[in-house]
Structure 1
Amino acid sequence: MDFWSRLIAGTSLAPGGNKAASNNPEKRLARFKREYSQLLQLWRGASNLAKDHEAAENIRSSLQELTQILSDESRRPLPHPCITFASTKQIYIPVGKIATTSNSEPIIREGVALFATLIDSEEEDFVENDTFSKSLMNLLVRITGANSIRLGSDTEVEVVELSFNITTKIRLDPEILPAWFTATQHDDTTDSEQDQHEKFTGKTHKEDFPLFYLLIDYIHHEGRIGDFARTGLLYIIEAASNSMALEQWIVESDLATLMATGLGALYSQLSRKLVIDFPTGELPPILAFSDYEHPITTAEIVSSASLDFQGHMETFLSHLVFWQDVLNHCNSVEVKQTLLEHFQVIFLQQLLYPSLLESSDVDGGSSVAVLTYLRRILESLDHPDMIHLILHYLLALPDTTTTPSGTRASISAARKRKSMDLATMMATHIEPASTPALFNLVDLIQASLKSESQQTISVTLQLVSVILRRHHRYAVTTLLWTSQILAEGPQRTIGAHEKEMDFLLSLAGGVGGEDNFDEAYENHVKDSMSALESHPCSITLIAPKSAGGTSKFPGSQATIPGAPRDIRSHTLRPEDPMLKTLLGVLASFFTNSVETNLSLTGAVVDLATCGFMRIEGWLLPDPSKYIYIEEDEEAEDSYFMGIGDLIEIEEKEQMRALRKMRRTPNWAESQIPKFLTELNALVDQVSSYRSEIPRFDELLQQRRDAFQAASSNTATPIPIRQHPPRSSFESSSRSSSPPRKSGFDSLAQRIFPELATPSRSNSPRGRRSGQERSSSSGLSGGYGFATPTSSRNAAPPPQFPMGLETPSRDSSRAFSPSPLRGADTSQKHGVPASQAAAFAAVDQSILARKVGLPTPKGELSPIPFPNLRGSDPDSSKEGSVQGTDDSSISGAEGEKEQEQKLVTVSHMLTNVLVLQEFLLELAALVQVRAGLFGEVRYV
């Protein structure tokens, strides 16, 4: 009927007079009084609403009608007699009693709606009325208590939303706080026989602020109800700065205890054993082109790809971020210190540190679990006080004792009592545990980096990266052995800088490849600029200086005593254990897992990103040890020049200084940092692979094209390069090897089958245009797929099929099948389709062979690359490769494989590309640092 009333203008099908009654305040009031009187009669006449369903439904309808009248009147012009009548007669008192005693969710929901309507009307000062607040809180406490009926989710949301609306009004007008909070003086001397734990948890103060505790009960919930509860609690804590009584009450309440124990409970729900994995069908391309194997999971060992685990992790991190929000909104120093004290004692000391201490690398992933959890915690937080508490405690930094910073003696005394109660409870109920003074986070990291598990090494390096990238000041005296740089100004000369850049770029070029790497290098330069400018330590170096010559940025450091001092220029010492460990992992680069190498290169880049970390001495040669070839300087005798030649003398001195800075120093072998030596050794190993592995350059280029196609959002089919047979390996009889589809052929068609068009047939070498290759650079920085939450690059498309059989990459052209094309299309391009299929089968066979690390120069090895070649080097290479498959490994070769870690050629090629991108990234970082931080001398 309402629909037809709105549809037909001026026509009402409702009973006559209803519309006029709504517009007439007197008639509206009469209707409201009549409905209210009927409600009271129904309530008094009903003996048991839980059983009398008809009476309960009539009461619900009456409450709904009253609420509708009030809501409609609040939107109409004044006067509002119904709202005034509700305030004068205090109708909310019987409405609260009806809802409280009804044990009927529909009646409770309508009663809550009526209270919400009165508050939203913002008239008659309902929200400031003590009687109104007591009646409402009595209702809310009774219906959400332990002995109440179970409310539906929708009703609970409405209850918490109503509570949130009240806190919003308190935040906007602190004068209404006394109506909801009463600071009652409690006589502690009469509670001598009371259980100390009961006193500690603040249960004696619950009746002072029931709204506060109602919100606390819902802060752990997910969805809208949790959002309302957490935000409302933030508003109350924010209001504590305007009320000394509320501030002291919060300090002595159990807010900090409930928050800390709740956080600990969520942390305890996380699995004790974890393996890092990816969902089926969503394996990143960089791992798909390696020897990656999905780790084994059991009922006890959980995969990081599990939806249940991800849900628990998200819930824990969201509550951790809520802690941070509370501290950000809290303007009371005393409340902050109370919260932080409980965070340290209950969560850090009793839960987080013991889990780190009890972790092991031999029990199926507990080290992986706790190191991953700690990394996620440090990534999620940015509040300096929370970061300080975590790292200060876990790294066993020295404590600094200070007096309380509160300015009001009563609040400081309250916090002291709370601290003493906390210490008493911990001593009574918790057994003493080990402290970081005996085994700290540095010990755990060093032990984990020497693990036999590649996953443990990978997640440990990721944790190190987070500490170096976000909290470098805590790593200077703990994770790293550093030396302070006392020299002022840049020490590296422009001549030395140019030689260093040439060296790094020549290493990248020595890896090989047919593409033009200029654009890839430019992308690395942009990434390095962004990383350097966003580093927390860089702001003091690149920000404009004030008149006094310094720049201060308040709020970036912890307010708790004991925080590390301002970071200064420093460099790594050669004997630094972390540097030696990184070099040890780098030495086995090509047999490492791809995840480990991505984490390793990321850690090295993060180590060199801080502007106060000088890279001379450990990454680049030490400027104080430069050696120059003696040059005959131009003899100039200025004593015989006249006074008029002083300008010319000064110019010559400047030119001499410029030439001196542009001299290229000689690098003695003993002066080259171990890091550069190791990088050079890796490039030499690539050369060894190139000389031993057939078609190495072609396979490497195919792998590069595959990554470019997988990473480009607008990838086009990869063109086909035709290579004539170069040896008997390629020209052997095809009958000995049946045609097989290559696992890497026509990769672009397999990733993006809808884009299989001959649009790039005009490209003789198959190089992609600049726009097509713009997103393809950066394996070490752009393919950061070490963890499921990594965000360095987009995940591969879901249609990435590893085993789909498609036409060979070395077939004539990457055309999609079409009945319009004849079978002889491939003959036009010089290589028959059958021969191209044979080439693809040969490539696949090579990729499946296993290799180890090349033998260093000067050493002899009977089997430098077992399982790669046949015993007769002059025999057909195709036959020799096929004759040494995995099933034929036995005897001496089988023992050799057990002694030396072997990986497939496919895995090794992926690591070669990771190395090349890492070298480009290092070169870009050195170049950007030189310009951004002024690290190069020109004169």
Structure 2
Amino acid sequence: MDFWSRLIAGTSLASPAGNKASANNPEKRLARFKREYSQLLSIWRGAVSLSRSSEAAENIRHCLQDLTSILSDESRRPLPHPCITFASSKEIYIPIGKIATTSYNEGIIREAVALFATLIDSEEEDFVENEVFSKSLMNLLIRITGANSIRLGSDTEVEVVELSFNITTKIRLDPEILPAWFTAQDHGDDTEARKRDAHAKFTGKTHKEDFPLFYLLIDYIHHEGRIGDFARTGLLYIIEAASNSVALEQWIVESDLATLMATGLGALYSQLSRKLVIDHPPDQLPPILALSDYQHPNTTSEIVSSASPEFQGHMETFLSHLVFWQDVLNHCKSVEVKSTLLEHFQVIFLQQLLYPSLLESSDVDGGSSVAVLTYLRRILEALDHPDMIHLILHYLLALPDTTTNSSTLMTSISAARRQKSMDLATMMASHEELTSTPALFNLVDLIQGSLRSQSQQTISVTLQLVSVILRRHHRYAVTTLLWTSLVMDDGPQRTIGAHEKEMDFLLSLAGDIGGDLNFDEAYEDHVKDIMGVLESHLCSMGLVAPKSSGGTTRIPGAQATIPGAPRDVRPHTLRPEDPMLKTFVTILGTFFTNSVETNLSLTGAIVDLATCGYMRIDGWLLPDFSEYVYEEDEKEEEEKNEEKNEEIKEEKKDAEDAGDAFFASLSDEIEIQERAQLKALKRARRAPKLTESNIPPLLLQLKILVEQVTTYRNEIPRFDDLLQQRRDAFQAASSTADTPPRVRHAPPRSSFESPSRSASPPRNPFDSLAHRIFPELGTPSRSDSPRGRRSQDRSSGLGGNYSSATPARSAAGLPPPQFPTGRDASSRSSSEAFSTSHLGDSDDRLGTLGVPASQAAAFAVVDQSILARRVGLPTRKGELHPIPFPNLRALGSPEAEGNTEASPQDTVDGSGTPPSPRSPDGEGKEEKDLVSVSHVLTNVIVLQEFLLELAAMVQVRAGLFDEVRFV
């Protein structure tokens, strides 16, 4: 064949039919492959420098591309595969690896990587088990990703790491492949080198030549996206393979894997801003914040916003690497490797970084407390590995060590593991004199101090951290955050009468707030949510799960392997002097002037405090059963019962005298038992009196808040209309579909008497009649609603007395949907900014009432003026201090119907803003203690939802945990 024929045959001008025939013929395919390979070597040997000759580099790239295409096509065809066999026998990967290594050309490198990947994917000729192949490939990968290599593009780097991941996948499936990629060489001078280099004792050996694939993956585990996923998963597979190789297990323990992972995690944590403010994007502000006095916090070059995309990126990267730590521990089957990782996690990350950041945080330097408390909360939310959780909370809470003698532990581990522990201990001993420990200042001290802060953001993020610990790690909080006492009583102590009275009290408080709210529907939603929350709590799962044949229940779950974990939670309750409870009550005292975020965090923490099935709520949330006080007429009833018992005894004596002693005694004993049972039932249904002396401070503070709402209603004109507008605005924001208008229900009134309470609405006359005829009922008959009966004359409205459903009904299985307004409001998930224009819907409402359009517009202007006014907390005299509406009180009166327009001086001052309120003595109230009426309205709705949530909590617990007795 002459030169021109050979040239034409080797070009792409050949006919497609000829190429197809060549591909189908193994011999022709092999001839083409050899020709391409020879041309590749010829161009490489003839080129002086591929980095300088772009033409030669492009030709080599095309040759590599053709070789890869032929191999890929052949691997999909039936046997024989002569090209793959030729590649193996001639070891073509050796010169190809050298060409790519010395080319410094990304195109050539990428095609060479693709060719190696094709050979591995072919699963023929045992490429992956060939040591020569592995050395050639790893030499290429290490050289192109090293410090002196060219900067590869992101796509090429992904292909490099993906190829490495594919190798680890094959090692995982077939551990026999491992010796081709890992060789534990004997480094005789290692001991002397470690003695000379003190730093090596800490970091470990770095013999990368033993396992280059291992270190290649470590270099990429901190990256984001696919490349980081490939690297982390590949490293997991290698660590998992350590359980099948003693040599690899020892090598990993002696290596610097643990040090690199711990320092890498610390580096990512250090990238997070030292000062942080919690914020939301302006176009994604939740409606519940938009309808309040929410203001975007100020940011500087040092103070970063949590809504910043850069900060969120750093946070996600840090949390992803933290979860990678967890995945490594979950996949690791080697106890020594796992112990080495946990020791480095505690020493390098916890003791050297996380705890010092908590210790150095301050509430007066622009948000460092907010930052570290938020980071710790996110860490505890992201992790669920019991050993990592135990290390974090055990150290930060300064729990006592209950481990066995360290010398005993040392005898059961290898020499390499012992050396690593000693190196870490030596390093920590050199720093102990310079650093503080949790024994002097722990997480409890930081939380208690932060809850007393003047910053609403600090209080809010601290409450969120407390919620996470109470909800997910309650056993660690029982003896640290909380002052608890064990409950030794066996069986329920709260009577059904007391339970119904307390339910009536809570629900009536929610009803006293008023509003056009479907209480039955809202309460049903809270019942469903609370049911899901209680059933999913880790402590409560053992109480609600079916019992085994032995009468015990053990929920399978991961337990910490490190000694010293807290024991299982036992029945307990809060002590009245608990500092956390007192702090909650103190924050509740300024509920209406708190930020909405603070109130949502506070109510969430209180609910989480009552969620554990082993936490008894009597004594701190509900009145203590030992302090129940009943009506005086009960003594008269007991005297009557004693008289009846005397009569029974006399009748028994007469019957015995008549000679019918046996049948008389039998019938009398049965009657006595029946009377005793009826007496016990009646005693259990007695409703105790609720007075300020026996109501817990938390419940009493909630009652005071409801009374403050009454003061706001009396002092603020059009309060009920504005409150309903606010509720409609929230419903419109959270609803995605049109809903029919709700029927106005009369709100329930509290049975707890107070001098400042307004008169109750007229009650159903049939209620009192039923009580007179059937006094043993105790409460009116109940409908199917879990909230209790419905008055017949109120169009399904809620009456003044409410009973809970029976325990069997309340314990019915209900789905656990997402939490509504009580803690994580559905409106908070809104991705769109909420406009306050919803508040102007009063025009339509007034129009439907027959109010002229001009007057409706005037009402809207007045409403906006009222909403903008700034008010404080009501005084003890039951009025706002100061009174901010001197000329707007009569808006709702008949005299004002003809003059609804307010003059400018009645609403705002000459500057266009509401006048500063003045106290009676003429001194202006501090601005920080004043909030707008709009802000108060939002907090009123939050309070009402929280009361319904607490009532649902009490009812569901009664049925789910059998907390109520009926006799």
Q: TM-score category by the smaller chain?
A: 0.7 to 0.9
Residue of structure 1 aligned with 2:857, choices 837, 861, 877: 837
2:218 equivalent in structure 1? 216
Give the Cα separation in 1 of the matches to 2:410 and 2:129: 29
Which position in structure 1 is the counterpart of 2:51? Answer: 50
State the Cα distance separating 1:412 from its structure 2 match. Answer: 2.7
Structure 1 residue 106 displacement after superposition: 1.4
- Distance between the aligned counterparts of 1:441 and 1:402, measured in 2? 25
Structure 2 match to 1:145: 146
Distance 1:791 1:228 in 2: 37
1:938 is the counterpart of 2:966? yes
Q: Given the alignment, which residue of 686, 695, 707 partners 1:663?
A: 686
- In the alignment, what sits opposite 2:171? 170
In the alignment, which residue of structure 2 is the partner of 1:309? 311
Aligned counterpart for 2:835 among listed residues 777, 796, 801: 801
Q: Deviations over 1:396-420 (max 9, x none)?
A: 1112333679999795321111122
Per the TM alignment, residue 625 of structure 1 is displaced from its structure 2 partner at its CA by: 2.2
Does the aligned pair in 2 maintain the 1:449–1:581 contact within 8 Å? yes
Q: Secondary structure at the match of 1:642?
A: helix
Name the stretch that deviates more: 420-429 or 391-400.
420-429
1:389–1:220 Cα change, 3 Å: same
Offset of residue 321 of structure 1: 0.9
Aligned residues: 854
Identity value in percent? 73
Corresponding residue for residue 676 of structure 1: 699
Residue 608 to residue 552, structure 1, CA distance change in 2 (3 Å): same
Q: State the match for 2:820 in structure 1.
A: 782
SS at match of 2:77: coil
Report the equivalent of 1:922: 950
Distance 2:182 2:270 in 1: 34
Amino acid at match of 1:488: D
AA aligned opposite 1:696: F
Paired position in structure 2 for 1:4 = none
Change (3 A) 1:813 1:916: closer
Verify the 8 A CA contact 1:852 1:900 in the aligned structure 2.
Answer: no
Q: 1:701 and 1:365 mapped to 2: Cα distance?
A: 37
Matched, 1:195 2:197: yes
Deviation, structure 1 residue 900: 7.7
Given the alignment, which residue of 854, 860, 882 partners 2:907? 882
Contact residue 539 and residue 614 of structure 2 kept, 8 A: yes
1:411-422 correspondence runs (5 A): 412-422=414-424
| Alignment check: 8 A CA contact 1:385 1:558 kept | yes
CA distance in 2, matches of 1:576, 1:799: 40
- Name 2:125's counterpart in structure 1: 124
Query: Who is 2:756 aligned against?
Result: none
CA distance in 1, matches of 2:218, 2:522: 53
Whole-Å separation in 1 of the counterparts to 2:410 and 2:354 = 34
> What is the aligned-residue RMSD (CA, Å)?
2.9
Q: Flag the structure with more relative contact order, 1 or 2, with Cα contacts below 8 A and sequence separation at least 6.
A: 2
After the TM superposition, which residues 135-534 of structure 1 pair with which residues of structure 2 at under 5 Å, given as runs? 135-187=136-188, 188-191=190-193, 194-198=196-200, 200-402=202-404, 412-427=414-429, 432-534=434-536
Give 1:689's aligned residue: 712
Find 1:643's aligned residue among 666, 674, 681.
666
TM-aligned CA distance change 1:719 to 1:390, over 3 Å: closer
Establish whether residue 865 from structure 1 lines up as the match of residue 882 from structure 2.
Answer: yes
Asked whether the equivalents of residues 529 and 817 of structure 2 are also in contact (C-alpha less than 8 Å), the reply is no
**2:875 matched to which residue of 1?**
855
TM-score by length of 2: 0.84
Listed as ranges, the matches of 1:34-45 within 5 Å are 34-45=35-46
Give the letter aligned to residue 864 of structure 1. Answer: H
Structure 2 equivalent of residue 5 of structure 1? none
Structure 2 vs 1, CA of residues 94 and 600 (structure 1 numbering), >3 Å: closer, same or farther? same
In structure 1, the partner of 2:565 is: 563
The answer on whether the counterparts of 2:822 and 2:942 sit within 8 Å (CA) in structure 1 is: no
Tell me the CA shift for residue 872 of structure 1.
11
Deviations along 1:475-523, one digit per CA (max 9) or x if unpaired, are 1000000010011111111111000100101111111113331100000
Equivalent residue number for residue 31 of structure 2: 30
**Structure 1 unaligned runs (5+)?**
1-11, 722-764, 768-777, 815-825
Partner of residue 714 from structure 1, selected from 715, 737, 740: 737
User: 1:548, 1:611 → 2: CA distance?
Assistant: 21
SS at structure 1 position matched to 2:220: coil
Change (3 A) 1:541 1:152: same
Alignment partners' CA distance in 1, 2:455 and 2:194: 56
Q: Quick one: which amino acid aligns to residue 494 of structure 1?
A: I
Greater alpha carbon shift after TM alignment, 711-720 vs 587-596: 711-720
The TM-score normalised by the length of structure 1 is 0.86
What SS is found at the alignment partner of 1:671? coil
Change (3 A) 1:812 1:494: closer
Distance 1:466 1:617, change over 3 A: same
Residues of 1 paired with 2:85 and 2:410: CA distance?
43
Match of 1:620 among 604, 607, 622: 622
Give the Å deviation of 1:792: 5.4
For structure 2, the residue ranges without an aligned partner over 5 or more in a row are 1-12, 654-663, 745-794, 798-815
Question: Residue type matched to 2:710 in 1?
Answer: S
381-390 or 690-699, larger mean C-alpha shift: 690-699
CA contact (8 A) 1:484 1:571 kept: yes
- CA distance in 1 between counterparts of 2:950 and 2:602 reads 13
* Preserved contact between residue 394 and residue 441 of structure 1 (Cα < 8 Å): yes
Give distance in 1, aligned partners of 2:399 and 2:546.
Answer: 33
| Native 8 Å contact 1:779 1:913 kept in 2 | no
> Aligned partners of 1:329 and 1:853: how far apart in 2?
56
Q: Amino acid of the residue matched to residue 270 of structure 1?
A: L
* Amino acid in the other structure paired with 1:810: S
Identify if the C-alpha distance between structure 1 residues 720 and 612 changes in structure 2 by more than 3 Å, giving closer, same or farther.
Answer: closer
Structure 1: distance between partners of 2:889 and 2:137: 93
* Contact 2:888–2:906 (Cα < 8 Å) also in 1: no
Q: Secondary structure at the match of 1:601?
A: helix
| CA deviations over 1:276-327 (Å, ceiling 9, x no partner) | 1111132211112211111111111111111111111111111111111111
Contact 1:870 1:883 survives alignment (8 Å): no
User: Residue 810 of structure 1 aligns with which residue?
Assistant: 842
SS of residue paired to 1:571? strand
Deviation at 1:720, TM superposition (A): 14
Separation in 2, partners of 1:102, 1:330: 40
Question: Does the 8 Å CA contact 2:493/2:963 hold for their aligned counterparts?
Answer: yes
1:577 to 571, 576, 579: 579
- The residue number in structure 1 matching 2:67 is 66
CA distance in 2, matches of 1:695, 1:930: 39
Cα distance between partner residues in 1 of 2:432 and 2:107: 46
Post-superposition offset of 1:893: 7.0
